Amino acid sequence: MNSFKSLLFTAVCIFFAQTAFSQSTFEDIYEMMQVKCAGCHGGSSPAGALDLSLSQQEVYDALVGTAPVNPAAAANNYELVKAGYPDRSFLLHKIATQDWDAKYGLETAEGDVMPPNNLPALVEKEIELVRQWILFGAPMNETVVDPQLLEDYYENGLALNETTPIDPPAAGEGFQLEFGPIFLAPLEEREFYIKDELPDLGNYEVSNLDIAFNDESHHFILYKMDQQLANTRPDGLRDVEVSETSMFQNTLVAAWQNPVNYALPQGTAYKMQNGTVYDLNYHIKNYSVTGVLAGKVYVNVYTQETGTAQEEMYSQLFPISLFDMFQGAPLGSGLVVPADGEEHVFTEHLWIPPVQNLPWPGGTWHIWQLSTHTHARGVDYDIYLAEGLNGDKGEQVYEGFYNYNYTFNQGYYDWEHPAVRIFDELLPVNMGFGGGLIHEAKYVNNEDETKVWGNTTDDEMMLIFVHFTTNPITPPSSTENLSEKFELSIFPNPTTDISYLKYDLDQSADVEIAIYDLQGKNKWQRNLGQQASGTNVFEFSKTEIGLPSGIYFVECKINGEGVTRKLVVE
């Protein structure tokens, strides 16, 4: 027993000694710079006016948040080190090679890759160490990655398959976001957030999202936040444990548990305001017992001019006990799954009360997409329409046993790749009194301890994802000539004052009326908004509009496609 205590004491002492003297990531980088960089960046006239031979604190201050003296790099809005943004850090562009990552090439005016040929070259694990340090926010005194992981990945043959990149959108069609890489040891699980403040893009719409990530990915979620909120978020990767409220402070754009394309229905788009900042959330687990995993995500954001889409696409996630949380209850407090091997059912009625300043619109939702999320104890997840004030189950609109693409019932709930149901004809749902959705999940816990809400796959979750518009979407127009199938008449014609415009609609549509003179000058215009199917009559007065006697053309636009009739005003 005494020898055991002595051995234990020695091991503890060694552990604390190693911990006390372990270096931060920046210390490792600083020492590398003294060997491979300070030869040029030192002395009385250091290259690039950057002296890397100074003290550790002085070098840190000279790098982080500092504008480069190179005019081309400054024009690209680089900093020597821009915390959280490796691709906007001139230091990394200078030391990286395109063989390591094609994204980090230099323009001719930005000079040559460093160090020069007469000094020892940086190897891939050293370049990666710099990238990881910047990605984690360029801290002064923290260890953000184990150097042994990078050595195992780059030099010891333990690298697992990387994510296959996707080509970014063509110029003028959008842009690409990246997350990572983040390195995971065997059996390690991590989840991070990181904000991405893009250059000023003004207002725009997003019509399509495409994505690629590792097979081992648990989920990736794209959020948006306004600039004011972004100012409160630190730069660089944020661990989920300190960023859990981001789920609600942000606005959901889209979530993936499988890398698929989100092509929004024609006439819809996500709306992005000037100053929108993206917040990227990535959860990944390395299931290998030996290999090192580099988690990486590519997101293509396809854009169009504001006003192109007829309707805004909204996205929300709703966890169990959502409204309890507004009363101060912990997130997901209603989810407690005993370790008894029995099936436990959790049911919640989701509806939107007529309360001001809720983060979601009320009224009728026209649902495009439904999906669900649990962890490993989840065995089924269903969604129903709610009926009556008591929230009784009505029609089932989501069956958890379906496959990912919702094409057939596979007989079980795949919690890692749950079904995504897309409604080709948007599903109208009254989300107010007497309506809403009921989501119901089932769990079987065969493990040794009770499972509650938590961030790792060893914990549990229960939530649904909903994509919807607040108005119906008009189907695309037929290629048939509108004037041949659309009856439009004006009476009386000629008119002395009051006229009536009569038109018939096969289905509800957006209607706009405009009047032009013979020179094509717009004399009057009105958007009537969404009009019901059937016969419609619109009254207008030449006196109220102010039309002198003459000949005019009245254009009636149905979902943007126009039909014109001549009007004579006496």
> pLDDT tens across 36-64, in order?
998 889 888 898 899 999 999 999 999 99
Please tell me the predicted confidence (pLDDT) of residue 478: 45
Could you give the CA distance from residue 408 to residue 257 in angstroms, rounded to a whole number?
18
Report DSSP state, residue 522.
E
- Say if residue 487's pLDDT is above 80: no
8 Å CB contact between 61 and 80: no
Taking alpha carbons only, the member of 201, 288, 192 closest to residue 233 is 192
> pLDDT tens across 455-479, in order?
999 999 999 999 999 999 876 544 4
- Say if residue 395's pLDDT is above 80: yes
- Say if residue 19's pLDDT is above 60: no
> pLDDT tens across 63-79, in order?
999 999 999 999 999 99
- Say if residue 18's pLDDT is above 70: no
For CA atoms 528, 532, 533, 535, the dihedral sign is negative
Could you give the CA distance from residue 345 to residue 167 in angstroms, rounded to a whole number?
44
Mean pLDDT of the chain: 89
If pLDDT is split at 50, 70 and 90, which confidence band does 13 have?
A: very low
| Average pLDDT estimate for 183-211 | 94
Domains of the chain: 2-154 (no CATH), 159-307 (2.60.120.310), 313-473 (2.60.120), 482-569 (2.60.40.4070)
Token reading at 77: 């809005």
Q: Output b/e per residue, 529-544; b: 16+ Cβ within 10 A.
A: eeeeeeebebebebee
> pLDDT tens across 222-277, in order?
999 888 888 989 999 999 987 777 888 899 999 999 988 888 998 999 999 888 89
| Average pLDDT estimate for 355-372 | 89
CA 492 to chain centre: 55
User: Which three-class secondary structure state does DSSP give residue 544?
Assistant: helix
The model's pTM: 0.78
Element (H or E) spanning 8, and its range?
Answer: helix 2-21
Cis peptide leading into residue 492 (ω within 30°): yes
> pLDDT tens across 522-567, in order?
788 888 887 877 888 889 898 888 888 888 888 888 887 778 888 8
Taking alpha carbons only, the member of 447, 307, 297 closest to residue 377 is 447
DSSP readout, 40-102?
A: TS-SSS-GGG---SS-HHHHHHHHBTPPPS-HHHHHTT-BSB-TT-GGGBHHHHHH--TTT-G
If pLDDT is split at 50, 70 and 90, which confidence band does 5 have?
A: very low
> pLDDT tens across 266-304, in order?
899 999 988 889 999 999 999 999 999 999 999 999 999
- Say if residue 126's pLDDT is above 60: yes
Place of tokens 């004011």: 228
Report the percentage of the chain scoring pLDDT > 70: 94
